[in-house]
Each structure stands twice: as C-alpha cells, then as structure tokens.
C-alpha cells in the first residue's frame, strides 16, 4: 500500500482546461471515490495518477516518490476499466496469470496467486472458460482478479460497474466491499453514480468542471454539502431548492418564499444575520418534507397540489406543486391514499434547512 498525493494538478488540452488545481491527500489504505457528472475530469485525473496521461502542471506522488515522469508500468498500480479489457482468446486462468507470466513469476507461485484471487471472487468454476462465455459481471470479476494477483500498491477503478445492470451493480458493490477487507489496498474509484460514491468511499471527492467541489466522508458530504451543486448531485430524489427572502418578522427571522414562510431555527439565524438579510436559496431534502400537517409546534405547513407520485414499494415519492415550484417529498407511506391534482398539506422539518448564497451558491454557514 502507499499514500497518494496530488498537488496543484492541472490538465490542459491546448487552451482547454479539463482538470484545475486539484489537491488531494489520500492516506495509505484509504478508499477514495471521485464522483461527478460526465465530462467533469474524473477519468483524466485517474489516468494522470496511472501515468496514462501526462500532467500539464503540478505534482503527483505515490508513496514518497514523485511519479510525474514515471511510466505506468513503474508506478505499481493496477487499473480496472468499464470495458473489462480481457484477452478474448485466453481462458480465465490465463487472463489472470498473464501479467505474472510476463514478469517471469514461477508457475507454482502464479497458481497460488490465481487460486487466492479466484477464491475471493468465486471464479473457481469458470477458470477454463473464455471471456465470451462469461456474463458481464463474471468478466468484471476476472478484471478485478487480474489486479488482485499483482498485489499493487494502488487500485484504480474507472466506472467498473457502469456496464452492469442495476441488480448486478448492487451485488458487485457488496463484493467490492468484501474485496477491500480481504485485500486492503489504497484505492481510487471513479464513478458518476452517487450511490456507489456513498456506499464505497471512506471519503468522497465531488468534482465539477475539472475542479474539486468538496472532499469528505459520505455523511459529511450529504449532511453538510459545501455548495448547491454538491447538494443537488448527492441524494435521490434531489434536494429541493427555493428562492427565499430572509426577513425579520416580530422577534423571528423567517425564510419567505411564494410558497410559504418558515421560521429559521436560532442557530442558523445567527449565521444568516452575519451577512445581513436579503435573498438566499433554501435547500430542503425530500425526506425532510412530510405529507401531512406539521406535528411539532415549530414546524410549518404548506399546501401543495399533487402532481406526480412514484410508488417504490417501501416508500412513495410525491411531487406537489406549490406556487411555481414542484416540491418532492420522499418516505411517504406506500399505502397512503392520494390522488393526482388533489390538494394536500405538507410540512417541513425546520431543523434540516440548508441555505446557499444566491451569487456564489456556496453554503451559508
């Protein structure tokens, strides 16, 4: 294992800047997930760490070594791609053994390593098959196995589960967690899928337009998003955003939208006070909006017209229009009787409000 450090790393293609000032410190043994929308620079960042892409500016260190000019084969990394990149004419066993044979490892040692990997991944019964005789999930397991047998300092993953169907993806997520326990290795995992980011990462790095937006544990990112982009990208259904005026009313500070007016809890009031009153963006996660009137005395109720419902079995997601805004509420009891275009009361948990600056979209803290 080794730690990985990126210092002021930039990547430009001509005048196009695709990775900007990336600073990241990944301690030995950590599993870090880079997540963000397509085109935000995740793969480029990973490929620069792998040495498959040159860097325009900055420093990349693996262990104590600066690897800027080191070819990929000397970086002691193993990489898994979305397309499994297996040798189609070779059996599973030979695919797994290939890298070790190239390095002239004795066959007996190869056999031991391959057995170790196939046991972890449940590939034993498939060793004599060719990749074309395997399902997508099995092929991806072979690709993982090829990394395991090499005992690299670092695992790099680029969207390894994106070609699999939803059920298999969920299963492979669990296998990746198990793999972590059996083969602890510093890992950098790229995905556009926020569920993979939340479930796999010790820490999550959210990227947008080539820049890091926030680095934190999954819960830090979810509970304290640094800005509106992070808040909207992480979480499904996505956070609701409303444009509000912050006004003084009686002894209280309230966030007033066309849809409703809500008293801001004291702790947050002080923060908003610091920047004077005015406009802000209020963010509320769907799970903090409940169907039915407020139960607590400090809660608030608004009326919405039911516009969409999504029945998920364990919960229902309800979209209600209030003034101009479609507001999504989740965790509605699945057997709730509810009709489209009906008006219904909704309530907001006042202790779960997020506020963002109108101009910078940074969280107001």
Q: Which stretch binds Mg ion (CB under 5 A): 40-48, 73-81, 129-137, 264-272?
A: 40-48
Q: Which is nearer to ligand ADP, 44 or 186 (CB)?
A: 44
Which residue is associated with the tokens 């030979």? 94
Q: Which is nearer to Mg ion, 49 or 242 (CB)?
A: 49
Minimum distance from residue 212 beta carbon to ligand ADP (Å): 12
Q: Which of 35, 40, 41, 43 binds Mg ion (CB under 5 A)?
A: 43
**Angle, vertex CA 212, rays to CA 11 and CA 208, nearest 5:** 85
Q: Which is nearer to Mg ion, 43 or 185 (CB)?
A: 43
How far is residue 365's CA from residue 86's CA, in Å, rounded to a whole number? Answer: 49
Using a 10 angstrom Cβ sphere, with 0-12 exposed, 13-18 middle and 19 or more buried, the burial of residue 255 is buried
Minimum distance from residue 16 beta carbon to ligand ADP (Å): 6
Three-state SS at 365? coil
How far is residue 82's CA from residue 159's CA, in Å, rounded to a whole number? Answer: 5
Using a 10 angstrom Cβ sphere, with 0-12 exposed, 13-18 middle and 19 or more buried, the burial of residue 231 is buried
Minimum distance from residue 313 beta carbon to ligand ADP (Å): 32
Minimum distance from residue 188 beta carbon to ligand ADP (Å): 13
Distances (CA, A) of 304 to 70, 160, 263, 276, 343: 60, 42, 19, 31, 6
Q: Which stretch binds Mg ion (CB under 5 A): 38-46, 206-214, 219-227, 325-333?
A: 38-46
Q: Which is nearer to ligand ADP, 42 or 146 (CB)?
A: 42
How far is residue 222's CA from residue 227's CA, in Å, rounded to a whole number? Answer: 11
Q: 63, 125 in Cβ contact below 8 A? A: no
Minimum distance from residue 42 beta carbon to Mg ion (Å): 5
Residue 191 in contact with Mg ion, rule: CB under 5 A = no
Q: 146, 139 in Cβ contact below 8 A? A: no
Minimum distance from residue 199 beta carbon to ligand ADP (Å): 19
| Contact set with ligand ADP (CB under 6 A) | 13, 16, 18, 36, 38-44
Closest CA relative to residue 306, chosen from 316, 314, 298: 316
44 binds, among Mg ion, ligand ADP, none (CB under 5 to 8 A by kind): ligand ADP
Q: Which is nearer to ligand ADP, 42 or 354 (CB)?
A: 42
Here the tokens at position 362 are 């940074």
Q: Which is nearer to ligand ADP, 28 or 209 (CB)?
A: 209
Crossing angle for the helix pair 166-182 and 107-121, to the nearest 10 degrees: 130
39 binds, among ligand ADP, Mg ion, none (CB under 5 to 8 A by kind): ligand ADP
Q: Which residues contact Mg ion (rule: CB under 5 A)? A: 43
């Amino acid at each position: 294992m080794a730690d990985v450090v990126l210092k002021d790393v930039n990547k430009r293609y001509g005048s196009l800047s695709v990775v900007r000032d990336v600073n990241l410190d990944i301690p030995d043994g950590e599993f870090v997930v880079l997540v963000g929308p397509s085109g935000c620079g995740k793969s480029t960042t990973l490929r620069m760490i792998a040495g498959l892409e040159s860097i325009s500016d900055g420093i990349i260190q693996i262990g104590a070594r600066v690897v800027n000019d080191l070819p990929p084969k000397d970086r002691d990394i193993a990489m898994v791609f979305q397309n499994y990149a297996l040798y189609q004419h070779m059996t599973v066993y030979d695919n797994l053994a290939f890298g070790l044979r190239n390095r002239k490892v004795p066959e007996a040692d190869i056999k031991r390593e391959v057995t170790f990997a196939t046991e972890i991944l449940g590939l034993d019964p498939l060793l004599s098959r060719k990749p074309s005789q395997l399902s997508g999930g099995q092929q991806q397991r072979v690709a993982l196995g090829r990394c395991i047998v090499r005992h690299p300092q670092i695992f790099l993953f680029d969207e390894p589960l994106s070609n699999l169907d939803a059920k298999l993806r969920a299963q492979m997520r669990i296998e990746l967690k198990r793999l972590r326990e059996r083969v602890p290795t510093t890992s950098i995992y790229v995905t556009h899928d926020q569920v993979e980011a939340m479930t796999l990462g010790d820490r999550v790095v959210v990227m947008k337009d080539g820049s890091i937006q926030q680095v934190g544990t999954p819960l830090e990112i979810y509970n304290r998003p640094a800005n509106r982009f992070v808040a909207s990208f992480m979480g499904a259904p996505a956070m609701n955003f409303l444009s509000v005026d912050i006004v003084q009313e009686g002894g209280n500070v309230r966030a007033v939208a066309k849809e409703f007016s809500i008293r801001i809890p004291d702790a947050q009031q002080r923060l908003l006070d610091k920047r004077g009153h005015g406009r802000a963006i209020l963010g509320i996660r769907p799970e903090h909006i409940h169907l039915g009137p407020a139960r607590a005395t400090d809660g608030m109720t608004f009326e919405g017209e039911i516009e969409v419902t999504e029945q998920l079995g364990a919960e229902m997601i309800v979209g209600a229009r209030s003034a101009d805004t479609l507001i999504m509420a989740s965790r509605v009891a699945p057997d709730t009787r509810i009709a489209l275009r009906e008006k219904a009361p909704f309530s907001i948990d006042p202790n779960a409000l997020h506020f963002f600056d109108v101009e910078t979209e940074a969280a107001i803290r």
